[in-house]
A and B are shown apart, each in its own frame.
Chain A
Amino acid sequence: MKELKCELIKPITLKIDNKSAISLAKNPISHGRSKHIETRFHFIREKLTNGMIELHYCPTELQLACGFTKAVKLDKFEFLRKKLGVFDVQQL
């Protein structure tokens, strides 16, 4: 984006629909249940402390990426499709 002469506002927002994942990333403490997570996945913690990214909770209904992990019902699918910006050219 910098090459495109397009400055982004920092930090970049990342929306996750799991609160415990957010708290795990925000607290740099290691405890029993998170011990087995590979060290390379703690990269997100580092970037969060650096202020490069920001994590926000996002309820599942508003989670855009929802339709990418599972098959969703027709009305939900159409809603997500609209949210993603896929439109019928004829109807615009």
Chain B
Amino acid sequence: MSMSKLQANTTMFRQIVGSLRYLCNSRPDICYSVSVISKFMHDPRKSHLIAGKRILRYIKGTMDFGLLFPYGAQSEVNELIGFSNSDLCGDLTDRKSTSDYVFKFNGATIFWCTKKQPVTALSSCEAEYIVGTFATCQALWLD
């Protein structure tokens, strides 16, 4: 039987995803990969578990990494810059796009989000437009 068919240990997989989700709050670099494997929480297969272990291995290799909040060299004005991006039809099964946005405050990353959009976008322009709206909401909340 191929690996994609074999059932994985569901409880263990969910525990791994849960712990990784917690880690996402301080490590933006693993945010996307964790969001990919957490789509398979319901019925994980062996291949999903392997992907999860791959992330754990990456974390082991980058144990000392952390977010840097630069001190000094700051200007008088406080500036908030948002970056928003989307992929059109990232999920091939339901054709929904992924939206994501990052906010930087005086050069330090303070907020990031990766989320599947609630509606199906028909064009990349529409997908970006929807992310823009979500990012605007977040910017207004941060303000």
A89 contacts B129, CB within 8 Å?
Answer: no
Chain B nearest CB from A12 CB (Å) reads 5
Is residue B22 contacting chain A, with contact meaning CB distance below 8 A?
no
CB neighbours (8 Å) of A25 from chain B are 129, 132
Q: Which one of B5-13, B40-48, B76-84 contacts A?
A: B76-84
Query: Nearest chain-A residue to B132 (Cβ)?
Result: A44
B124 contacts A18, CB within 8 Å?
Answer: yes
Q: Which of A1, A12, A70 contacts B90 (CB 8 A)?
A: A70
Is residue B15 contacting chain A, with contact meaning CB distance below 8 A?
no
Tally of chain A residues near chain B (CB < 8 A): 52
Please report whether the interface of chain A is mostly helix, strand, loop or mixed according to DSSP.
mixed
CB neighbours (8 Å) of A41 from chain B are 129-130, 133
Q: Which of B69, B80, B114, B136 contacts A68 (CB 8 A)?
A: B114
B114 contacts A69, CB within 8 Å?
Answer: yes
A63 contacts B62, CB within 8 Å?
Answer: no
Tally of chain B residues near chain A (CB < 8 A): 57
Is residue A2 contacting chain B, with contact meaning CB distance below 8 A?
yes
Please report whether the interface of chain B is mostly helix, strand, loop or mixed according to DSSP.
mixed
B78 contacts A9, CB within 8 Å?
Answer: yes
A84 contacts B28, CB within 8 Å?
Answer: yes
A16 contacts B32, CB within 8 Å?
Answer: no
Which residues of chain A (47-92) have a CB below 8 Å from chain B?
A: 47, 52-53, 55, 58, 63-71, 77, 80-81, 84-90, 92
- Distance in angstroms between the alpha carbons of A20 and B128 in the assembled complex: 9
A69-B87, A86-B29 as given contacts; A14 in contact with B69, CB under 8 Å = no
A53-B136, A68-B100 as given contacts; A86 in contact with B68, CB under 8 Å = yes
Q: Which residues of B contact A (CB under 8 A)?
A: 27-29, 31-33, 62, 64-70, 77-87, 90, 98-102, 104, 107-109, 112-114, 119, 122-126, 128-133, 135-137, 139-140, 142-143
18 A–B contacts from the bound complex (CB under 8 Å): A8-B79, A12-B143, A13-B79, A13-B80, A20-B125, A24-B125, A43-B137, A44-B133, A65-B100, A68-B112, A69-B85, A69-B114, A70-B87, A81-B65, A86-B67, A87-B66, A89-B65, A89-B66
